[in-house]
Amino acid sequence: MPNPILHFHPLSSCCQKVLIAARVLGASLDAQLLNLGDPVEREAFRTLWPLGKMPLLVEQDTCIGETSIIIEYLQCHHAAQGALLIPQDPAQALEVRFWDRVCDLYVMAPMQALTAALLQPSGDGGGAADAAARAMLLNTYAVLDRQLGGRQWLAGDSFSLADCAAAPALFYAVAYVPLPASHTALSAYVERLMAHAPVAAVIDAARPWFKHFPGRAGLSRRYYDPDT
């Protein structure tokens, strides 16, 4: 059976979430580069997936959208023996899914809102929506910092779906709103995430594209040097 096709872009935080998961699960995908900035490609993609959002997984004639659903699908149908990102125990699975939602809705979404504001024709960010997104990030950082006290990963004892969501969302979010120095557990967690091999590989593959990230000025020099 052919591999499922992942329509993706290496710079996209949502796509990175699924790429990290695919590595952890040992799932083989055929990656199809998607440039939604190209109007023709965008229109063609919308005929396949009217919601117009990436990533999209296509397996034979079935389209599977939404990062968390794609990851659960990969775990069910394409994971190496024993590889898990959502625990089998229902209570543990619920905890993982909860923190995945927290990262998507309260880190990924405000980070995307800040990116979208910079992509507006005025391009200066600012404004009430911008302030709300920044406040949401700071509030979520505090929640995550509390959760991470004494823990290695966000939910449960092992790297999970929640960490797949957290890694790219936090990577870009801190470029806009740095972590407060008092959040030592969260800061250590971000370092741990970035050093984790599947995350490091996906972030590394995105390096050539960081020059197109509207918040690039806030990225650590480790990842983006404006002078090169």
Ligand X SMILES: N[C@@H](CCC(=O)N[C@@H](CS)C(=O)NCC(=O)O)C(=O)O
Q: Footprint of ligand X on this chain (CB under 6 A)?
A: 12-14, 36, 52-54, 66-67, 104
Of 42 and 146, the one with the shorter C-beta distance to ligand X is 42
**At residue 220, what are phi and psi to the nearest 5 degrees?**
-60, 145
Nearest distance from C-beta of residue 69 to ligand X, angstroms: 8
Residue showing the smallest CB distance to ligand X in the complex: 14
57, 73 contact by CB (below 8 A) = yes
Nearest distance from C-beta of residue 205 to ligand X, angstroms: 15
Of 41 and 95, the one with the shorter C-beta distance to ligand X is 41
Q: Report the SS3 class of residue 209.
A: helix
For the beta sheet containing 56-59, the strands, ordered from the edge strand earlier in sequence to the opposite edge, are 30-33, 5-8, 56-59, 62-65
**Segment holding 62, helix H or strand E:** strand 62-65
Of 36 and 185, the one with the shorter C-beta distance to ligand X is 36
What's the chain's Rg over C-alpha atoms? 17
Of 66 and 95, the one with the shorter C-beta distance to ligand X is 66
Exposure string for 71-85, b = 16+ CB within 10 A, e = fewer: bbbbbeebbeeeebb
Nearest distance from C-beta of residue 213 to ligand X, angstroms: 11
65, 53 contact by CB (below 8 A) = yes
Nearest distance from C-beta of residue 104 to ligand X, angstroms: 6
Of 159 and 172, the one with the shorter C-beta distance to ligand X is 172
Nearest distance from C-beta of residue 128 to ligand X, angstroms: 21
